Amino acid sequence: MVRWRSGTVTALRRQWTGAVELDVDLPDGATVRALAYPALVGRPEPGDRVLLNAGALLMGLGTGGYALVVALPDRLPPDPPQTLDSRDAGHLVKARYTPLQPILLGVDEEASPHREVMAAADDLAGLPVVTADLHSALPAILAGIHADAPAARVAYLLTDGGALPAWFSRTLAGLREHLVGTVTVGQSFGGDLEASTVHSGLLAARHVLGADVAIVAQGPGNLGTGTRWGFSGVAVGEAVNAIATLGGRPVGSLRISDADPRPRHRGVSHHSLTAYGRVALTPAELVVPDGLAPALAGEVDAALAPLAARHTLVRVPTDGLDAALRAAPVALSTMGRGLDADHAYFLAAAAAGRHAARLLT
């Protein structure tokens, strides 16, 4: 449950799109790192009293290791300029029935400027869509796409398996100039467009943002229990089904590693094998990068052999992808490991991006 704290803001630290990092002094003399989303709670200033949810910080979580600002009780933000007694400003409620539920304008609502386009949209017309189970794959996939198709318009669908506010992701903030837009789907929010489902989000990427390629992945901070089914990224398989249902072309980015210390994630992660092998009921193109170390390549081939009955295994050359990854506009990191520490992971994601780009020709 919630572990509440109250404190006073002493300093503002890093700021990026939609988020502010702060130092907060607690009554017991401790100083904690906190994060505020100004669109939800207002913009904190030094001297403000803040109410915090400190659970993730006290647990020592890596991705979510902040105390989160719940309110500035002595200086509430003003009401939004739109009247909220009608649906003219939108009625999509996300993070529903939580104390900080925002009310947003959905891309396909009656009041949306995109309503007419979305009401008529029913097909992706072969749009290549890369699916990945971790947010850390996003910049690597994008690097692979732009290595071969630098002018490709790429949209990102942030699903709700990890962080719900898109503003939490510093990676996404650093990629804004390299994406045609972000669609937050399901319970996630804070993107350029808001959609209620993966299906409507995919259609918005194609018909509103005009994407040539889309990427679907959860936000940072995935949930996992160490079991086959207890992982939020298993929803990648459902995304494959949605893409195929709408006439898109699913491209599966595989979670491959020879650096992860956990046996279940070495070779091809059991999460990829579950998502594509058990959850995805329609065919996808699963990308296997060339250039893996021989021992790792053998593990990958053996793990993927049972999936070949349903999916197409596509081997993709990786020449030039290392340079593309090193030139990425944001730092690459997965589970605390950078590019050189887990090269195969990022190479596999970039290869999936390269394959999607080659489907455009």
The residue among 89 and 273 whose pLDDT is bigger is 273
| β 181-185/31-36 pair status | unpaired
| Rounded CA separation 336/294 (Å) | 25
| Helix axis angle, 343-358 to 138-148, nearest 10° | 40
Query: In which band, very low, low, confident or very high, does the pLDDT at 259 lie, cut at 50, 70 and 90?
Result: confident
Supply φ then ψ for residue 36, to 5 degrees: -125, 145
Which band of pLDDT confidence, cut at 50, 70 and 90, is reported for residue 62? low
- Nearest alpha carbon to residue 162 among 180, 181, 141, 137: 137
* pLDDT computed for residue 64 by the predictor: 61
How high is the mean pLDDT of the chain?
93
- What is the C-alpha separation between 189 and 163, in angstroms, rounded? 9
* Average pLDDT of the residues in 65-71: 92
pLDDT exceeds 70 at position 2: yes
Q: Which residues have CB under 8 Å from 139's CB, separation 6+?
A: 171, 174, 175, 328, 329, 330, 332
Overall average pLDDT of the 247-258 stretch:
95
The more confident residue out of 121 and 335 is 121
Q: What percent of the chain has pLDDT over 90?
A: 81
Across 72-164, the runs of DSSP E, i.e. the strands, are 92-93, 103-104, 128-131, 154-159
Lowest mean pLDDT of 57-61, 79-83, 329-333, name the range.
79-83
Query: Cβ(204)–Cβ(215) under 8 Å?
Result: no
Residue 83: the pLDDT is: 57
Amino acid at 127: L
Note the pLDDT of residue 86.
66
* Whole-angstrom distance, CA of residue 218 vs CA of residue 157: 8
Lowest mean pLDDT among 42-51, 76-85, 330-339: 76-85
Residue 234 — very low, low, confident or very high, per pLDDT cuts 50/70/90? confident
pLDDT score of 221 more than 90:
no
Query: For residue 355, which phi and psi values (nearest 5 degrees)?
Result: -65, -40
154 pLDDT band, cuts 50/70/90, is very high
What is the C-alpha separation between 74 and 8, in angstroms, rounded? 11
Nearest to 352 by CA among 169, 112, 133, 106: 133
Q: Above 70 in pLDDT, residue 94?
A: yes
Number of separate helices (H) and strands (E) present in the chain:
11, 17
CB 108 within 8 A of CB 118: yes
pLDDT greater at residue 115 or residue 224:
115
What is the residue-wise DSSP string for 175-202?
A: HGGGSSEEEEETT-B-SSEEESSHHHHH
Q: SS in 3 state form for 265-304?
A: HCEECHHHHHHHHHHCCCCCEEEEECCCCHHHHHHHHHHH
In the predicted model, is pLDDT for residue 99 greater than 60? yes
Nearest of 63, 306, 107, 310 to residue 202 by alpha carbon:
107
Q: pLDDT-based confidence at 150, cuts 50/70/90?
A: very high
CB-based contacts of 245, cutoff 8 Å, min separation 6: 199, 282
DSSP 8-state symbol, 68: E
Instruction: Report the amino acid identity of residue 109.
Output: E
**Mean pLDDT, residues 306-324:** 97
Please write the tens of the pLDDT for every residue from 39-53: 999 999 999 999 999
The residue-averaged pLDDT of 209-238 equals 88
- pTM score of the predicted model: 0.93
Q: Which two tokens stand for residue 325?
A: 């990854």
- Only one residue has tokens 């006290």, namely 58
Alpha carbons 346 and 330: distance in angstroms, whole number:
13
Report pLDDT digits (tens) over 160-187: 999 999 999 999 999 999 999 999 999 9
Q: Which of 179, 85, 86, 191 is nearest to 141 (CA)?
A: 179
